[in-house]
């Protein structure tokens, strides 16, 4: 779902997303402020697929600390803003993956915003 597979390293390291935040590599950025950056996924899984990343490198949800609360809240308010500007009034899905079992591919905290069509169930219920 994301753009490049990276492996976690104990301390924050440079990531593909950090390079996008710093505008060192091209991306279709739809929103940016001092806390978060939102850009279109290069391998969209829905008609609208935007990644919203923290500007600070936080490798996984397990690495979140109280000092990150403002950026985490901003992920959600920006998701709402981008969903509205993309015309997703019928609904959208937000996904945050954490580590390998959840298939986190880039170890820089990010939220997927998907919409533009009925998305169906995220998980299939066991029979």
Among the listed residues 49, 108, 110, 112, the single catalytic one is 110
Length of the chain: 127
As a whole number of angstroms, the distance between CA 9 and CA 37 comes to 22
- Give the H or E element holding residue 48: strand 48-54
Active site includes 101? no
Here the tokens at position 62 are 């397990």
Q: Which of 38, 40, 66, 65 is nearest to 52 (CA)?
A: 38
- Residues annotated as catalytic are 110
């Amino acid at each position: 779902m994301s753009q490049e597979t990276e492996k976690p390293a104990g301390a924050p390291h440079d990531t593909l997303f950090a390079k996008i935040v710093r505008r060192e590599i091209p991306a279709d950025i739809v929103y940016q402020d001092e806390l978060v950056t939102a850009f279109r996924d290069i391998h969209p899984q829905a008609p609208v697929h935007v990644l919203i990343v923290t500007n600070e490198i936080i490798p996984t949800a397990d690495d979140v600390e109280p000092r990150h609360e403002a950026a985490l809240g901003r992920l959600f308010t920006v998701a709402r803003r981008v969903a509205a500007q993309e015309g997703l009034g019928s609904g959208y899905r937000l996904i945050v993956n954490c580590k390998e079992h959840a298939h986190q591919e880039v170890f820089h905290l990010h939220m997927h915003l998907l919409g533009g069509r009925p998305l169906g169930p995220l998980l299939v219920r066991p029979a």
